[in-house]
Amino acid sequence: MYSLPGFLLLKRENAMYISVIGPARSGKTTLFQALSGVESARGFSDGDNIISIDVPDSRVDEMARIFKPKKTTHARIELADTVAIGEGNIKDSTINAKTLQKMRSSDAFIVTLNDFDGAEQADLRREFHDIMNEFILADMVQIEGRIERIKKQGGKKENTALQQEMELLERLLGHAGDGKALKTLELGPNDEKAVRGFRFLSQKSMMIAVNRPEGAAGMENEGQAGDIGGYPALYVCATLEQELAMMADDDRTAFMEEFNVKESIRGRMIRLAFDTLGLISFLTVGDDECRAWPVRKGVNAQEAAASIHTDLATRFIRAEVVSYADFMKYGGMNECKKAGVWRLEGKSYLVQDGDIMSIRAGT
């Protein structure tokens, strides 16, 4: 695997893994460079171009300024630049099994669509539809393969679990056979758990980057492009953003002022990724480390403790909690205690974005 100095090439625990995909000449590699801030290598055929980037979070930076820890750790995103995807690629095996497996490992996709020639909305939807059809076809091949294996096992003896799985798979296959993404199929909690291991491509969360030329209409309003195919979309000028990402800090500031760029695509896309994946961050602070921990919205305190270490969840007693806003308002933990906003929470407490937490655990 190609190595970029200073970047991690394997998926880290607690890191989101997002693949940048799109048709040939859509600008996906340029967008990858804009998001990562590095030149990507050429000649890749199996999606090995993966780097790790920090999730910008001013709260972590402020905690680090206050506590002056030995280590400051932001949430991370593993970002992959994949091969081009187009109509017929699955059927003719242009995308090999190794690449498909890596794409299935993704938590989400950023789909890059080319709008350099002023494409109509219908053209962009058609381009996206072509990609989705490839994903649906790949999922169908995967489902059919599993059905065949179950038939061979089921012929030996009665197996209720296999029969139930077969019924679910046939339901999935029928939905995909109608040309519908598996994400649009309503599943109960048990069925969702049963299919989770397949990591179906058409079931992934997706964000769309509509790549437009510099100065094109619609780039204002923070580049919001509504949605395409039911997925959130942003307008972006990948070439301009790539130039911006490669600049020194001082030059970048002047450049953004000159071209009226309020925020880089990295910040906008990361926020969209957090929203799309339903993520929030809680913080741990201290002299040793200040760190952001990304978790799903709706997790409880014990589940959040497990993201730090499974032992903390097993031996969980209480969580000391204060919101970031209250910490900044009152100026520290002791002041928050005096103001009555510091509190002890139990296992079932639902963690909020920006909570500063310290886990009390038994020995």
List CB contacts of 188: < 8 A, sequence separation 6 or more. Answer: none
C-beta contacts of 85-89 below 8 A and 24+ residues apart: 85/21, 85/22, 85/23, 85/131, 85/134, 86/23, 86/24, 86/130, 86/131, 86/134, 87/130, 87/133, 87/134, 88/134, 89/134
- Are both 35 and 68 inside the same structural domain? yes
pLDDT values of the chain reduced to their tens digit, one per residue, 363 residues = 222 223 333 344 567 899 999 999 899 999 999 998 887 544 444 556 888 889 989 999 999 999 999 999 999 999 999 888 888 888 777 888 888 888 999 999 999 998 876 656 668 888 999 999 999 999 999 999 999 998 887 655 567 888 889 999 999 999 999 999 999 999 999 999 999 999 999 999 999 999 988 766 454 444 566 788 889 999 999 998 998 888 988 888 888 888 777 888 888 899 899 999 999 999 999 999 999 999 999 999 999 999 999 999 999 999 999 999 999 999 999 999 999 999 999 999 999 999 999 999 998
- Are both 128 and 98 inside the same structural domain? no
- Are both 210 and 229 inside the same structural domain? yes
Q: Which domain holds residue 314?
A: 298-361
- Are both 189 and 231 inside the same structural domain? no
Q: Please report whether residue 251 resides in a domain.
A: yes
- The Cα-based distances of 269 to 55, 232, 272 in angstroms read 10, 11, 5
Q: Are 283 and 62 in contact (CB under 8 A)?
A: no
- Are both 156 and 269 inside the same structural domain? no
Domain count, the chain: 3
The first and second tokens of residue 222, run together, are: 């923070």
178 φ, ψ to 5°? -85, 5
- Are both 324 and 216 inside the same structural domain? no
